[in-house]
Amino acid sequence: MTAAWDPEAKVFYSQSDIPGLVVEAESFDEFLSVVQDLAPDIIAANIPDAKAPYTVHVETSRELIVAAA
């Protein structure tokens, strides 16, 4: 799962290979919290063969534009 940053909307949004897991949050910490809350039920419902406990790998990057010195 990737937490991508939308600079216009100022939110992190998910790009996920977990069917049905769609997340949007204003901060990365909030994003992780939502994933942690939603993922178990969504994985259980949409990937019935998955064994608990589940591991969800979350990656993110964010472009930073800085002025020249």
Domains, the chain, ordered by start? 2-60 (3.30.2390.10)
SS3 4: strand
pLDDT given at position 61: 81
pLDDT band at residue 62 using 50, 70 and 90 as cut-offs: confident
| Residues 10, 62, 39, 17, Cα dihedral to 10° | 110
Whole-model pTM: value is: 0.83
Q: In what order do the strands lie in the sheet with 24-25?
A: 24-25, 11-15, 2-6, 59-60
**Measured between alpha carbons, how far is 25 from 8 in angstroms, rounded to an integer?**
13
pLDDT band at residue 58 using 50, 70 and 90 as cut-offs: very high
